[in-house]
Amino acid sequence: MRFVPCEGGTRRRGSGKYRSGHLLLGLALLSSAGCSFAPPHARPPQPVPQNYAAASSTAPSVARIGWHDFFREDHLRALIATALENNRDIRVATARVAEARAAWRIEGTALYPELNAVGTGTRGRSLINLPGLGSQSYDIKQVTAQLSAGWEIDFWGRLRNLSEAARNQYLATEEARRAVATDLIAQVANGYLLEREYEERAALATQTITTREEALRIMRRRYEVGSGSKLEMTQAQTLLGQAQAALEALDQDREINRNALALLVGQPVEIAPGPLGLAGTAPEIDLPPGLPSELLVNRPDIVAAEYRLRAAEANIGAARAAFFPTISLTGAFGSTSTDLDGLFGNGSRSWSFTPTITMPLFNAGRLAANLDVAKARQVGAVADYEKTVQGAFRDVSDALVRRRQLARQIETTRTVLDALRERARLAQLRFDNGRSAYLEVLDAQRDLFDTEQTLVQLRRAHLASAVALYAALGGGFVNAAFDTNTEQTGEQAR
């Protein structure tokens, strides 16, 4: 067990005795500058590589950009702002922050004297046996009014460590709320991107349906005049039905996504039609992740884990201090009388002063067990911190990989799409000139439609990877608080 040396006050001599005022001042100084048995805090070694393998830039992390600047589309900004105000998960997290802040205040009050006003009244009858006189009864009446005070001198730092543990738990809860808010921002942004994807894919499907309806009209007319076969007409019907089924599935997915957005935002969502290009909803610029060490201060769940570790260390200090004597002062000053009228008369004053020292001698190992519990929780807090860092590193690395690979897939798919458009054009020419069956046109148009849909999905996924990277880096609330009161209280606590 490692203890921090104590520093007491200096002794002042007057007439050979301690003056009461100097004694109280000295005790106050001892309480404020006493011992602390909490282990010194040291951030655990970073259990991840020093650089991201998939990173292409060493510029400062994009997490330093606030969400309002990161997202450029005004309607998306409005949705995020509404969600931060109305989302029920945010409200639950905010209530937990307020609860933790109140718990910290409760622990902090133990450091100060407690003053109470006490009034009592007693009335009764008592018997007394007097030799030769027998039993005599007399009435008892007493009225007391007092100011009572009590103060535990925190010489060993037990109360300060308990207050410090509660403070760090509060700060951890505040960071946990930021983590909930960051995740909420990412979910709203992804839901909005899905809405734009469905909008663009539905527009492509509608355009394809129009084209295929015209193709079916032509094939039906050719069949009616005898220049085409029924097989070719049914093939055109099949092609049209596939596009119509795809549009119906998109409409269903779109409604489900809007329901999910309404749950996130906390109210029904009306999304006006927007541009078919998705580039305006998130930046197409380079998104540098910075260094893994920046995660330790940018990502709220890591910061929260470190605060929980600090709280566990403070609890060890409190558990160690419980082995030492408890020093407390209690006193009372007031007036006592046999009737209410004379309560504040001359000669009715009363006072008491009771210093108390309590030294634990035997408790069947309870204090030692409490210390073991605190140490075990500190070990668990270290492991939780390291696991959180590892998980954050993986989130960033996965987002970087997805973003890089999706960019390559988009370029490949665009090349394929250009080839499929030319293939569909040539297949139609061959069929019109009687050099191929309509099945060749059918296959070419089906592949073209599927690839057009896939390209939109890839573009949306690429933008979603930017959102995922931004959230994984801990971005969201740089110069943009969503609860001013709690924000200011947290800064004061730090």
Output the pLDDT for position 341: 62
Output the pLDDT for position 130: 65
The CA angle 62-461-463, to the nearest 5 degrees, is 35
- Tell me how far CA of residue 131 lies from CA of 136, 140, 490, in angstroms: 11, 21, 74
Tell me the backbone φ, ψ of residue 15, rounded to 5 degrees: -95, 25
**44: confidence class by pLDDT, cuts 50, 70, 90:** confident
DSSP-assigned letters across all residues of 355-407: EEEE-----TTHHHHHHHHHHHHHHHHHHHHHHHHHHHHHHHHHHHHHHHHHH
Type of residue found at 172: A
Pair 110, 162: CB distance under 8 Å: yes
Pair 7, 30: CB distance under 8 Å: no
Output the pLDDT for position 51: 73
Output the pLDDT for position 2: 41
**Mean per-residue pLDDT of the chain:** 82
Comparing 379 with 211, the larger pLDDT belongs to 379
Residue 342, pLDDT > 70, answer: no
The least confident of 1-15, 229-243, 380-394, 395-409 is 1-15
Say which DSSP state 111 is in: T
Residue 133, pLDDT > 90, answer: no
Measured from the Cβ of residue 117, the count of other Cβ atoms closer than 10 Å reads 9
Topology adopted by domain 39-111+156-323+366-493: Outer membrane efflux proteins (OEP) (1.20.1600)
Report helix, strand or coil for 17: coil
**1: confidence class by pLDDT, cuts 50, 70, 90:** very low
The Cα 472–Cα 392 span in angstroms is 6
- Tell me how far CA of residue 124 lies from CA of 26, 98, 139, 387, in angstroms: 44, 49, 6, 68
Of the segments 30-34, 153-157, 186-190, which one has the largest average pLDDT value? 186-190
The Cα 265–Cα 334 span in angstroms is 60
- Across 26-42, average pLDDT: 68
Output the pLDDT for position 71: 86
Output the pLDDT for position 417: 93
Residue 141, pLDDT > 70, answer: yes
Pair 117, 147: CB distance under 8 Å: yes
**192: confidence class by pLDDT, cuts 50, 70, 90:** very high
Pair 317, 157: CB distance under 8 Å: yes
- Tell me how far CA of residue 280 lies from CA of 288, 409, 465, in angstroms: 19, 20, 15
Closest CA to 165 of 316, 379, 3: 316
Same fold, 39-111+156-323+366-493 and 113-153+326-359: no
Residue 492, pLDDT > 80, answer: no
Topology adopted by domain 113-153+326-359: Outer membrane efflux proteins (OEP) (2.20.200)
Type of residue found at 164: E
The Cα 60–Cα 286 span in angstroms is 11
Pair 323, 367: CB distance under 8 Å: yes
User: What residue ranges do the domains of the chain occupy?
Assistant: 1-34, 39-111+156-323+366-493, 113-153+326-359
Q: Kindly state the helix (H) or strand (E) to which residue 451 belongs, with its residue range.
A: helix 438-472
Tens digits of per-residue pLDDT, 406-448? 989 999 999 999 999 999 899 888 888 878 787 888 888 889 9
**30: confidence class by pLDDT, cuts 50, 70, 90:** low
- Across 220-238, average pLDDT: 85
Question: How big, in percent rounded to 5, are the helix, strand and coil portions of the chain?
Answer: 60, 10, 25
Pair 289, 396: CB distance under 8 Å: yes
Residue 142, C-beta contacts closer than 8 angstroms, at least 6 positions apart:
120, 121, 122, 123, 336, 337, 338
Tens digits of per-residue pLDDT, 90-119? 999 999 999 999 999 999 998 899 899 888
The least confident of 29-33, 169-173, 401-405 is 29-33
**5: confidence class by pLDDT, cuts 50, 70, 90:** very low
- Across 63-72, average pLDDT: 82
Output the pLDDT for position 431: 83
The Cα 445–Cα 455 span in angstroms is 15
Strands 349-358 and 326-337, sheet pairing: antiparallel
Residue 282, C-beta contacts closer than 8 angstroms, at least 6 positions apart:
70, 71, 72, 189, 193, 463, 466, 467
Say what percent of the chain tops pLDDT 90. 39
C-alpha of 425 from chain center:
54
Tell me the backbone φ, ψ of residue 306, rounded to 5 degrees: -70, -40
Rounded to 10°, the helix 300-321/158-225 angle is 160
- Across 310-323, average pLDDT: 94
The Cα 15–Cα 20 span in angstroms is 12
Residue 277, pLDDT > 60, answer: no
**14: confidence class by pLDDT, cuts 50, 70, 90:** very low
Tens digits of per-residue pLDDT, 238-276? 889 998 999 999 999 999 999 999 999 988 888 777 654
Comparing 24 with 1, the larger pLDDT belongs to 24
Output the pLDDT for position 333: 85
CB-side neighbour CA atoms (13 Å) of 139: 5
User: What is Dmax (Cα atoms) for the chain?
Assistant: 144
